[in-house]
Amino acid sequence: MKKSNSYSFRQTTLNKKAFQQALEIFELTKGFPKEETYSLTDQIRRSSRSVCSNYAEAHRKRRFRKYFISKLSDCDMENTETLVWLDFSYAFKYITLEQFEYHQNLNEEVGRLIGHAISNPDKY
């Protein structure tokens, strides 16, 4: 793969943390019950990955401020959805309190980074 000299979305803290969250959610959900395969497991994996993919799309169009903010809003929406699935995961006792708190904190960190980008789009 040819390395680009331009600023990449992959270099941003937001992308790195969101990608970390998606990878860790994938590992976390490997132990979920089989009956959750097509519901909670798929949903939480999809929403956590969507944060990254929406950010990549937003970053490519960042010169168009309104579009950029709109796609960041999609990132925020997907990140919040991920938190809801974490709530269900804990409520159903699929994860421990320690796991829940760790992933909730990571999710909130991603949310703060998204919020910063929405409030300061010119810095991105």
The CATH number linked to 48 is 1.20.1440.60
Task: Report CA 97 to chain centroid distance, whole Å.
Answer: 21
Residue 33 belongs to some domain of the structure: yes
What's the mean pLDDT when you consider all of the chain?
94
Number of domains the chain is built from: 1
Q: Which residue has the higher pLDDT, 66 or 8?
A: 66
Domain membership of residue 71 (yes or no) is yes
Q: What is the pLDDT of residue 5?
A: 45
> Once rounded to an integer, what is the mean pLDDT over residues 87-116?
98
Give the model's pLDDT for residue 84: 98
- At 6 the pLDDT is 59
Residue 18 forms part of a structural domain: yes
Cβ(26)–Cβ(56) below 8 Å: no
Task: Please check whether residue 21 lies inside any domain of the structure.
Answer: yes
pLDDT tens digits along 70-79? 999 999 999 9
Q: pLDDT digit string (tens) for 29-69?
A: 999 999 999 999 999 999 999 999 999 999 999 999 999 99
Query: What average pLDDT does this structure show over 10-19?
Result: 95
Share of the chain above pLDDT 70, in %: 94
Question: What is this structure's pTM?
Answer: 0.91
**Secondary structure E strands in the chain:** none
Tell me whether residue 2 is in a domain: no
Structural domain range at position 58: 12-123
105, part of any domain: yes
**Residue 5 included in any domain:** no
pLDDT confidence of residue 124:
84
Q: What is the pLDDT of residue 4?
A: 46
What is the pLDDT at residue 3?
44
The count of C-alpha atoms lying within 13 angstroms of the C-alpha of 61, restricted to the half-sphere facing its C-beta, is: 14
20 located within any domain? yes
